[in-house]
Amino acid sequence: MTYKKLIPYLDAEGKIASDILNLARHYSYSGADELIIINYAKDEKTRDEFLSLAKLLAKEVDIPFIIGTYCKRFEDVKKAFYTGAAAVLIPYTLLEDKQLLKEAIKRFGKDKIIIEMTLPNILDISGKENITSEENSSENVSLEMFSPLVNSGVTKVLINAEELTHSIIESARASSLQFILRDDFISDDLMPLLKREKVIGLTSNLFEEKDIMKIKYALKENGVDVNTFETTLKFSDFKVDANHLIPVIVQDYKSDEVLMLAYMNEEAYNKTIAGGKMTYYSRSRQTLWLKGETSGHFQYVKELLIDCDKDTILAKVLQIGPACHTGNQSCFFTELMKKEYHKEDPLHVFQDVYDIILDRKKNPKDGSYTNYLFDQGIDKILKKCGEEATEITIAAKNPGMEELRYEIADYLYHLMVLMVECGLDWNDITNELAHRK
């Protein structure tokens, strides 16, 4: 489903990294669809620091982000994507090698490269010489002026809002071009701009002190198709108890850990849908309570499901801090009985082994082979990875699967040691794989 996007704009130049990360988290929690983070510095040291910040950002937020950076070579585009960015924003004024556009789009796809333009850029790339003051106007832009971009495969352009005139929209109508508008909007500007043809989103720093989800609901009420929480069933469709309550099982949306059990009445359910934060009904106090209102341990809704009897809700949430008032991550921490069993879920096994290796790195243990590898350094770890890869090749040529299974497990262990040594985790790997789908 396509919808118009609200995309906060973060200029990281000269900013403190922690401030940028805190702001990005706020935007993510409050309903932003994507983020744009930029630093167009040309010096390599500043760019490397910015790319490191973007890598941290990828771990902190779970909404797509677009990275705007100076790209002189194709390698610069690759490095930008290595941060985990969903797309790369390239300012046309700083693009020295225009052939780089075609190369980047061919490698990463049309949706992955966005060009930042201004009206002088558009007039300049048209190849027109001796442009008069009358011609130097957005009202005189034709499709031919966009043709160098279109011919390079560009489909998304970021442009200042006041420069997107009726003439530009008309000229782009026959093309695949779409526009993201940038400006210091006031709230009243949003609706008419988002309703314009060919506009797919707005980016601004307007949202810094705003609840973006509330803005979205206001836009939706006025006919703008934006991404909000929508429920397929009304509360009246549920089977509730004698007090008109329904139990809610709350689960971490990434780990699937069960965090708590609470109850909702109709008002709590509607507030949860409208605000995106879990709101419950307290049976003891007989009042609504917004989870995290006093502790700061909010639960941001990712998904709500109803069971087959429509009498229990399963909520998958992003939990801030511990879920339990005791300080435990989950309310279910008191063991009543336990039968020994193997955790056979591959995802949990990978994470459990990785966590042990990471703990050895942080807290060395005498006699640990893992710590021996860390002590020997990256060359020893790489040597072992190479040896284990060779062992896999040999085992695969032999009959039976037992040897191959053993060698693959050996290789994966050493691979995880390498990941820890280089600062990667399974989220980095799975996110990269997800981008390639």
Here the CATH number for the domain that contains residue 361 is 1.10.287.1080
What pLDDT does residue 120 have? 62
User: Domain check: are 163 and 30 in the same one?
Assistant: yes
- Whether residues 256 and 285 share a domain: the answer is yes
Same domain, 134 and 17: yes
Which DSSP symbol is given to 4? B
Residue 340 included in any domain? no
Closest CA to 302 of 86, 57, 25, 28: 28
Residue 246: its H or E element = strand 246-252
310 and 376 belong to one structural domain = no
Which one of 221, 246, 270 terminates a domain? 221
Does 241 share its domain with 214?
no
Question: 230 Cβ partners below 8 Å, 6+ apart?
Answer: 273
How far, in Å, CA of 65 to CA of 302, rounded? 18
Do 134 and 212 reside in the same domain of the chain?
yes
Give pLDDT, residue 172. 78
Q: Are strands 246-252 and 258-264 parallel, antiparallel or unpaired?
A: antiparallel
Q: Residue 314 domain-assigned?
A: yes
pLDDT mean for each 10 residues of the chain (437 residues) = 89 94 93 96 94 93 94 94 94 89 92 86 54 49 68 90 81 84 73 90 87 90 91 96 98 93 97 94 96 95 96 97 95 91 76 94 95 96 96 93 93 97 90 75
* Residue 199 and residue 265 in one domain: no
135 shares a domain with 40: yes
Q: Where are the alpha helices (DSSP H) in 153-211?
A: 166-172, 187-194
Q: What is the C-alpha to C-alpha distance for residues 75 and 82, in angstroms, rounded to an integer?
A: 10
b/e code 64-84 from CB counts within 10 Å (16+ = b): bbbbbbbbeeeebbebbbebb
What is the structure's pLDDT at 175? 81
- Tell whether 108 and 135 lie within a shared domain: yes
The predicted structure's pLDDT at residue 257: 93
Structural domain that includes position 256: 235-319
| pTM listed for this prediction | 0.82
Whether residue 373 lies inside any domain: the answer is yes
Q: How many domains does the chain have?
A: 3
